[in-house]
Amino acid sequence: MLRRIASHLFWTARNLERAEWRARLLDVNYHLLIESPPRDAQPWAALLAIFEERELFAQCYPTDDEASIINFFALDTDNPNSIRSCINTARNNAISLRHYISSELWLDLNTLYLNAQEWTPEVFVSPGVFAFFADLKNSFYRISGIRHGTIPRDLAYDFMEVGIMLERAEDVARMLDVKYHFLLPLLEDVGGPIDMLQWAAVLRSASGFEAYCKRFGNAIKVENVVEILLFDPTFPRSARFSLEMLDTSLDRIASQAPEPSPPLSQLEDLTALMRSRRSREAINSGLHQFLVQIQDGCAALGDEVFQRYLKSD
């Protein structure tokens, strides 16, 4: 497969996954603020720090209010990582892939793209924030199902899988970091009703609430939330599951290369880290620092993947 095609496949899938997680993060923050009114005068501003986009935001918006930040993350095409921009990028990459992806996938992706062109700030008034993100999440679910059900398990599928799983592993760590930074409770609130509501909302944002209850019961414990979202090898949105699926796809890609190539060092380090740790260790050693380690490792792994498979000669 040409590197150009591999790159288009990778970035189509990765941008769709990024758009979905941006929607999830905005949605969970909105739910958390409704359920537990913030103490901070600018409760949405922490998202800018987490994504390291404060400088870009400040160039376009005078204040860190809710409407401005939602617009920046969801609609603003001057932000290359907004939901709309990611959908645009995914669709533009997919234009070159008509012989590699199914017509059903192209149709649904193009429909999402056309719908996104019509979004205005009024969509957060009518039908409203909740309905907008619920509909958007369903669109991403549909596209994911079409991809799984219509694309042969070949190189095209694997390069898309690499993009998805790399983004997913990084973004689940970012989502947990939202809770750590943005809604870190006062000492007396730890383990209290507000704290537990927030952790339950984090689970729902990753579609993990039911999986959590089946494994751990209805009692929400921070250690168990971290366990299922980071270390569970069976939950499809956990960091460990994502990295192991990424490893599987890269093994299949490498097996079709004309010459054998060494394993990617960052992937080996990350998978070893996720298999050797448990939630209690991560929390006791500093959850924020552990989450940053995952995010930095995913960024370095993305660079390795680019240099080996995607960089044009």
Residue type, 298: C
Rounded distance, CA 256 to CA 259, Å? Answer: 8
**Residue 272 pLDDT:** 93
Beta carbons of 10 and 96 less than 8 angstroms apart: no
Mark the ranges of the chain whose per-residue pLDDT is less than 50.
Answer: 187-188
**Residue 187 pLDDT:** 46
Rounded distance, CA 152 to CA 171, Å? Answer: 27
Its domain, for residue 270, covers 3-310
**Residue 32 pLDDT:** 74
> How many structural domains are present in the chain?
1
* Closest C-alpha to 302, from 275, 266, 271, 269: 266
